[in-house]
Amino acid sequence: MAKNVAIVGATGAVGQEMIKVLEKRNFPVKNIKLLASKRSAGKDLLFKGEKVKVEELTTTSFKGVDIALFSAGGAVSKDFAKHVIDAGAVMIDNSSAFRLEEGVPLVVPEVNPEDVKWHKGIISNPNCSTIIMVVAINPIYKLSRIKRIVASTYQAVSGAGASAMQECIDQTRDFLNGKEIKPVNFAHQIAFNLIPHIDTFQENLYTREEMKMVWETRKIMHDDQIKVAATTVRVPVLRSHSESLMIETEKKLSLEQIKEAILKAPGVILEDEPQNKVYPMPFFRAGKDEVSVGRIRYDLSSETGIMLWVVGDQLLKGAALNAVQIAELL
């Protein structure tokens, strides 16, 4: 049955991807409503070859809407959640506003699709780096419970939005032309640099982005005992996040078992032929739906440890695609 769909934050990087994903996956859209701030209202965007005018987001925007896909920041999600629910719609929210709230499912369809059933009007999309990680490790978790994860991320600038992507391009050009560089979206120059700082630092000296990977992984996997330590790093890559993962399982698994499980799992592909220089790389995963796993090897410092290199397009699986997959579950 066709649904009336609204996209909040339609002109942003993730919002535009949501439009493309709905179209590509032939989601049964009866009517689409594109919503944004007053500043962006009036713009025309394409959906299935037809122009759709962007409307200003207001408290009455959700009348007649069945599913509202939100990607406009946590403050907007909090301000409009009640209006979405009162209108009888379901909010699928890409911000961190409700992810850890009791009673709000935090869903990755390949991992915990059944959690959609207990929503009360809001379903949260996890953080992009968390989604990419749990899609990759879930097939392994099914073979043996994972006790511990040490994650280092290499996160693309598009994770900070469309203006951050442009800043990386502009800074690269300016650097090569010997011009002065003035950071806007990031704490420091991003061109030809790495910044080990995403989101705000917490009292424990981890950033909020790093702690999201701890908190959200436990909720998605339904495992409060899983130990996670993360270092999240912004890198001068336009699209697709990469992650170096060390996972420690309860049972010792063979590399063959792990590869076979990944090959059979939904939403993940195996790119693991190091002898032929085949491994996941962000440039080549941009625009692809699946999370790619490679460089699978034993951790030399642990009896049951496994090392993985994981890459996924965070605008797609890390955001827009995951949200639309949740809508498909509904």
Q: Residue 92 is inside which H or E element, if any? A: strand 90-93
> How far apart are the C-alpha atoms of 105 and 322, rounded to whole Å?
13
The candidate with the shortest Cα–Cα distance to 231, out of 248, 243, 217, 249, is 243
The candidate with the shortest Cα–Cα distance to 328, out of 15, 106, 21, 8, is 21
Residue 132 burial (CB < 10 Å; 0-12/13-18/19+)? buried
Instruction: Calculate Rg over the CA atoms of the chain.
Output: 20
Phi-psi region of 303 (alpha: psi -120 to 50; beta: other; left: phi over 0): alpha
The candidate with the shortest Cα–Cα distance to 132, out of 10, 295, 242, 272, is 242
Contact 181, 169 (CB under 8 A): no
User: Distances in Å between the alpha carbon of 199 and those of 127, 157, 159, 178, 234?
Assistant: 12, 13, 11, 30, 10
Long-range residue pairs from 50-58, CB within 8 A, at least 24 positions apart, any chain: 54/10, 54/11, 57/8
Single-letter amino acid code for the residue at 62: F
> How far apart are the C-alpha atoms of 309 and 231, rounded to whole Å?
15
Contact 326, 23 (CB under 8 A): no
The candidate with the shortest Cα–Cα distance to 159, out of 196, 128, 201, is 128
Contact 99, 124 (CB under 8 A): yes
List residues with catalytic annotation. 128, 241
